[in-house]
Amino acid sequence: MRAVAIVPTYNEAQNIEELCRAIRASAPSVGILVVDDASPDGTADLAAALACELGDLRVLRRDDKSGLGGAYRAGMRSAIDDGAEICIQIDADFSHDPTMIPALVSAVEHGVDLALGSRYVPGGITENWPADRRRLSRWGNRYAAGVLGLAINDATGGYRAYRTTALVEQMDFESVTTEGYGFQIEMTHRLVRAGGSIAEIPITFRDRTAGESKMSQGIIHEALLLVLKLWVKDRGGRRDRRHHGR
């Protein structure tokens, strides 16, 4: 199956060349699509310069910095239009280990709609995070899973491989409007509600060692509010089904 690793970037000049080489070394048959939000540090040019050497590497340049979710939606659409059957989400900062790409792709090839790199299943590890960030992530996942009934241990995890037919036919991914944690939660929620199959693959998550984190209080608040909105939507759907079933 044709798989493409989608790498959203903004000011990742310190990481992008090494990451692209690591992806190619770990998964030689996987395409690379860098989605750059007009990085002023030249990230897009550095990635484009590698295309001839590494092969099967494209750069999608966006006009401005408009969010992680938007970058993934644009990247997924471009990859699907280019023939991708599996879309991989991977961060540019090496918090996601490229050597795990074959395991995620294999899980999709063997039948799941989403292979989710999970920090919170047996064998999953989070390294180099301060205690408050670790607590926030754990609490956020338990909150989302508990309120929405997702039965997923790492609904906010960003290291993923999707079957593209699930993205298009079951999830209508291009209509998702949230960003950051919220994007990951809403995508997970949509697939669960559509009856899609999900496998959580244990990963080691490492905090970035170069560049600046894109996390913000606004992204966190958006995710918290999103969970409540999805809960209200779920309740409305259950009421409608009960009404029509009478």
The predicted-structure confidence for 56-67, as pLDDT tens digits, reads as follows 999 999 999 888
**CA angle, corner 215, sides to 180 and 64, nearest 5?**
70
Alpha-carbon gap, residue 47 to 150, rounded angstroms: 37
Token representation of residue 52: 């001839």
DSSP secondary structure code for residue 74 in this structure? H
Q: How far is CA 242 from the centre of its chain?
A: 34
- Tokens coding 242: 């009960």
Q: What values do phi and psi take at 210, rounded to 5?
A: -140, 150
Is the model's pLDDT at 111 over the cut of 90?
yes
pLDDT value of position 99: 98
CA distances from 23 to 13, 33, 51, 202 (A): 16, 11, 13, 18
Q: Two tokens at 166?
A: 């699930």
pLDDT at 35: 98
Those residues with Cβ within 8 angstroms of residue 138's Cβ, 6 or more apart along the chain or in another chain: 120
Range with lowest mean pLDDT among 43-52, 145-154, 235-244? 235-244
Q: What is the pLDDT of residues 8-18, one digit of tens each?
A: 999 999 999 99
Judged against a pLDDT cut of 70, whether residue 238 lies above it is answered with no
Give CA separation, 230 vs 68, 145, 219, 242, in Å. Answer: 20, 12, 16, 18
Specify whether the CB–CB gap between 44 and 61 falls below 8 A: yes
Query: With a threshold of 0.85, does the pTM exceed it?
Result: yes
The answer for residues whose C-beta is within 8 angstroms of residue 195's C-beta and 6 or more apart is 170
Strand pairing partners for 57?
Answer: 32
**Contact (CB, 8 A) for 197 and 107:** no
3-state SS assignment for residue 61: strand
The domain spans of the chain are 3-238
Report the 10 Å Cβ neighbour count for 129: 16
Closest CA to 159 of 127, 133, 184: 184
CB atoms within 10 A of CB 157: 25
Mean pLDDT calculated for residue range 174-183:
86
Taking residues 192-209, report their average pLDDT. Answer: 91
State whether CATH 3.90.550.10 applies to domain 3-238.
yes
Is the pLDDT confidence value at 216 over 80? no
Q: Which residues pair with 86 in a beta bridge?
A: 3, 163
